[in-house]
Structure 1
Amino acid sequence: MLRRTLSRVLLERDPGAVLIADWTRRIGEGLLADSPHVREPNFTRIHTADLDRLFAAYDGRFLDGLCGRILGPDRLRFRLSRRMTRAGGKTTRIETPQGAPRFEIAVATTILFDGFGEDAREVTACGLPCANRLEALQRIFEHELVHLAEYLCWSESHCGRSRFQGIARRIFLHRAHTHQLITRPERAARGGIVVGSRVIFAFRGRPLTGRVNRITKRATVLVEDSRAPRWSDGRRYARYYVPLDQLRLVDPASARTPKKGRGKPEGRGKPEVRREHA
């Protein structure tokens, strides 16, 4: 019965632009007022409890609390991910031996914290411009809430399909199902560092030179080392994981033009260089 009611809400509800703007603004203001971590629009710390607060507020205001009533107390958990560097969020359906699936909503903190600096380009989420991290967080969470609600009603969810996009457009005014957030590769490219760049960095007090092989949360840099495993090109490389702000180009003139393109609170940590152990 609750699932049928939720499906009707998802397929028929259309609050209108004025109400949606008012509700989302109130939810954002409520998080700033209640959270001991998210204290300003461009917050620098966040906790999984803040995602719990957002869920209660959005579910109650937009979906009549139906998601929470269907799930009960133990079938939904929240996670903050530092390892997600391209997607803003992810909703996962987890099958269980008991038969009733559990769900997890993850939000990428790395992407949130990488945006909204003084020289950052405009960020959009779900096709809507975001003036600060709080607005981006809300748009990402709205998107994941639609995924969750679809899973509860139809056991599947696909943001590229018309049903999802219709729900997101009517209930949250979303104009797209993708985000234009600032990723680590884009941030690196602004400094001229891309895959293939030759770079210098310090490891345990000595300078090393290598080539960027991959960019995620950190840059993976390959440094020639006779004691390391042999790679497909016949050379031996040690692999280092280096924070982007600790890299310098060997030849700055060769820099390429970037393309546009429940534990402790998460925040800006103090990253260090790590070497992969053989």
Structure 2
Amino acid sequence: MSDILLGIKVDENTVCRKRLEIYRRTIERSPRINNGKITSLSPLDLKLIFDLYDEIFFNHWFNKKCSSRIEFSISKRMTRSAGMVKCSINKRSGEKNFILQIGVNFFFNYDELESEKNVCGIKTGDSLEGLLLVFEHEICHIIEFISYGKSSCRGKRYKTIARNLFSHVSSYHQLPTYRQIAGTKHGVSVGDCVVFHHRGRQKTGFVNAINKRATVMVRHEEGQYIDSKNNRYVKFYVPLGILEKA
């Protein structure tokens, strides 16, 4: 049973020491992570980091005693959460299996803004530190899922687990989002009226969404997108650097 994990309480100094050891070994063993700045990441790196946490914090409990299967994946589509755990339950056996997914763009874009970047209430110095803290957050979800069949980082129980294991004081991160980068570096926000050039012609529209590029809706009588006033639009995906406010 996972009761042994729920009973663990690690003091803050020990947490910092163990986290630093994982940081050091990740750089030492990963062929893609050579320093604290993450420029490439694969599911194999996530597996490496998880195994290090299992060894250093949990004495190989997941490897030796946990019956659940844990898989790892990378997402470039995650725009709000830097990490996510998906739990599936076998209806016959009741066994819980997990996918731990990481939104890589949060870490690739870590240095895009110079603001302070706290993760789980802890100040980070580089993107690898941020990744480790997000990883800890997701590990707490897995532990709560295994123990209770559901998990919510808004709940008191989850917050107690995260605080006891990793000294987390918050369930949120302040890693740069594409919206924040667009607003700070390009002065563009959702809803803004903007101008850009497409195939040599100037287009005017409004910003409907911001991810790696801006989604801009341009009025056109033959457009396939229709608003509540029956105005028709054509959708364009536009690099942020070529947008100008109208």
TM-score computed with the length of structure 2 as normaliser? 0.91
- Aligned 8 A contact 1:86 1:111 in 2: no
Q: Which residue is equivalent to 1:261?
A: none
- Alignment correspondent of 2:168: 174
Does residue 155 of the first structure (1) align with residue 149 of the second (2)? yes
Cα RMSD of the aligned pairs, angstroms, is 1.9
Asked whether the 8 Å contact 1:188–1:194 carries over to 2, the reply is yes
Q: Which of 220, 232, 238 lines up with 2:228 in the alignment?
A: 232
Q: How does 1:67-86 map to 2 (within 5 A)?
A: 67-72=62-67, 75-86=69-80
Match for residue 241 of structure 2 among 231, 236, 245? 245
- Pairing 1:1-278 to 2, within 5 Å after superposition: 3=1, 6-10=2-6, 12-72=7-67, 75-96=69-90, 98-99=92-93, 100-117=95-112, 119-190=113-184, 191-229=186-224, 230-250=226-246
Q: CA deviation at 1:70?
A: 4.3
SS in 2 for 1:240: strand
| Matched residue count | 243
Deviations 1:146-200 (A, max 9, x none): 1011111221111112221112112111111111221111111112211221223
CA contact (8 A) 1:83 1:217 kept: no
> Runs of 4 or more off by more than 4 Å in structure 1?
none
- Give the secondary structure class of the aligned counterpart of 1:179: coil
User: Match for 2:219: what amino acid?
Assistant: E
Q: Percent identity?
A: 30
| Deviation of the 1:233 alpha carbon | 2.3
Quote the offset at 1:51 in angstroms. 0.5
SS at match of 2:115: coil
Tell me, which stretches of 5 or more residues in structure 1 are unaligned?
Answer: 251-278
1:208 and 1:223 in contact (8 A); partners too: yes
Shift of 1:69: 3.2
Higher relative contact order (CA 8 A, sep 6+): 1
SS in 2 for 1:180: coil
Contact 1:67 1:152 in 2 (8 A): no
- The separation in 2 between residues aligned to 1:224 and 1:232, in whole angstroms, is 14
Instruction: Give the gaps of 5 or more residues in structure 2.
Output: none
- TM score, norm. by length of structure 1: 0.81
Once residues 204 and 65 of structure 1 are traced to their aligned partners in structure 2, the CA distance between those partners, rounded to angstroms, is: 58
Counterparts of 2:238 and 2:80 in 1: how far apart (Å)? 18
* Partner SS state of residue 107, structure 1: strand
Residue 43 of structure 2 contacts residue 72 of structure 2 at CA under 8 Å; is this kept in 1?
yes
Residues 101, 171 of structure 1: alpha-carbon distance in 2 compared, 3 angstrom cutoff:
closer
